[in-house]
Amino acid sequence: KQEVTQIPAALSVPEGENLVLNCSFTDSAIYNLQWFRQDPGKGLTSLLLIQSSQREQTSGRLNASLDKSSGRSTLYIAASQPGDSATYLCAVRMDSNYQLIWGAGTKLIIKP
């Protein structure tokens, strides 16, 4: 049974710092992995999707990497801004299965 873990559960850093959020999964037979952002009381915004054959994806100040063999993904945020404050969720999709299996998220606070 696939389990997805995100560490740390919460993170508070000063504005301008580069930071890394971690996501690990127990079953490496994934189809893809997505990183989402969730703002309080709001919906989910997809940030990056990495197919199982890919190693990384980039969008602006965000870079997500995937290492299937070790069951890990990282989300790198460069030059963090207060507007980056949110909960970041990772979700994996298994081969031939449409269900997304989610981590509990990392709550990120960027202090001005």
Q: Should residue 59 be labelled a site residue for other proteins when binding is judged by CB under 8 A?
A: no
To other proteins, the closest distance from the beta carbon of 68 in angstroms equals 16
Piece in contact with other proteins (CB under 8 A), picked from 12-20, 55-63, 66-74, 102-110: 102-110
Q: Which is nearer to other proteins, 15 or 38 (CB)?
A: 38
Given a contact cutoff of 8 angstroms between Cβ atoms, the answer to whether 13 and 80 are in contact is: yes
Q: Which residues sit at the interface with other proteins, rule CB under 8 A?
A: 4, 32, 36, 41-44, 46, 49, 51, 89, 91, 96, 98-105
